[in-house]
Amino acid sequence: MVKTEKKRTFLLEFEKPLVELQARIDQIRELAEETNVDVSGQVSELESKAEQLRLEIFSSLTPSQKLQIARHPRRPSTLDYVQAMTDDWFELHGDRRGNDDPALIGGIARLDGRGVMIIGHQKGRDTKDNVARNFGMASPGGYRKAMRLMEHANRFSLPIITFIDTPGAYAGVDAEKLGQGEAIAYNLREMFSLDVPIITTVIGEGGSGGALGIGVAEKLMIFEHSVYTVASPEACAAILWKDAKKSEQAALALKITAKDLLHLGIVDQILPEPPNCAHSDPLGAADILKKAILDNLEYLSSLTPEQRKNLRYDKFRKIGVFLEG
């Protein structure tokens, strides 16, 4: 009972009908086991109904509903994917300037036997953990640490895998004093010059320059219910309409969903999520992500460093291009 209540605490409003139907199916199965009654026909009918309901719900989500999924507290984080996909993970710390930002982590690991450098934003699971991780909003020291690790990877020919999951870079006064804009701009410039393959995946929420600071890559992938945007819908609404409550309208206008981003040529590949989304099956999501990374890594490894850099350059030069009628 306690376990069920805890699970329900993290339910999104549009998920409730599906979860209630699944609970009913489980209840019928348990009762059938106790009474030794054949209910296979009834269960099969309800499972078909549940599958139809699942398709209806997740195929018609609004941008703001997808944002809720992207921010789900149980959505797999960078460390979750590292644990599920890799071997011999060894986290590296510090920007060599006296800072070690827990909101942006990185380290060396083996992915299917191959050495890689993994870097990603890290949110917390609960309020206390989120405060410690600053809700995944990295400071200048975090971006400098990320760049240090990328340069290390480049020196030792390790492919770079980055995971984006942040509402944006930390915008506090202290961050500005320490050069937040310069740190991100430096990363953008230097990532274009790295020789090794770079693959980036938006695993949750990708916001503003905070996402771009580790997001310059030949291949940019995104999970189907993740979002990627120039500013959070709340920030956009506050700026344009002086009313954060209009965030739903802003989310629609910003084109933050995976399908919109693929259509606009910003992302290269949409990764499907397990039924009921990644937060319901983290291991399933990790299997999908791992296969996609390995497939892209095989292709990028066959190119020369110059070809990879040209891919990066061409990709970002095309973003934002438009024609006036």
- Would you list the domain boundaries of the chain? 12-60, 66-318
**Using CA atoms, how far apart are residues 52 and 18, in angstroms rounded to an integer?**
10
Per-residue CA distances from 208 to 40, 231, 290 (Å): 50, 5, 26
- Quote the pLDDT of residue 276: 84
Antiparallel, parallel or unpaired: β 219-223 and 269-271? parallel
- Record the pTM: 0.89
Query: pLDDT, tens digit, for every residue of 270-311?
Result: 999 998 899 989 999 999 999 999 999 999 999 999 999 999
- DSSP code string of 123-171: --SSHHHHHHTGGG---HHHHHHHHHHHHHHHHTT--EEEEEEES-S--
206, pLDDT greater than 70? yes
- Is 287:199 a contact under the CB 8 Å cutoff? no
* 66-318 under CATH 3.90.226.30, yes or no: no
**Residue 4: both structure tokens together:** 């069920």
Query: pLDDT, tens digit, for every residue of 74-132?
Result: 999 999 999 999 999 999 999 999 889 999 999 999 999 999 999 999 999 889 999 99
148, pLDDT greater than 60? yes
- Quote the pLDDT of residue 2: 37
**Residue 321: both structure tokens together:** 């291009």
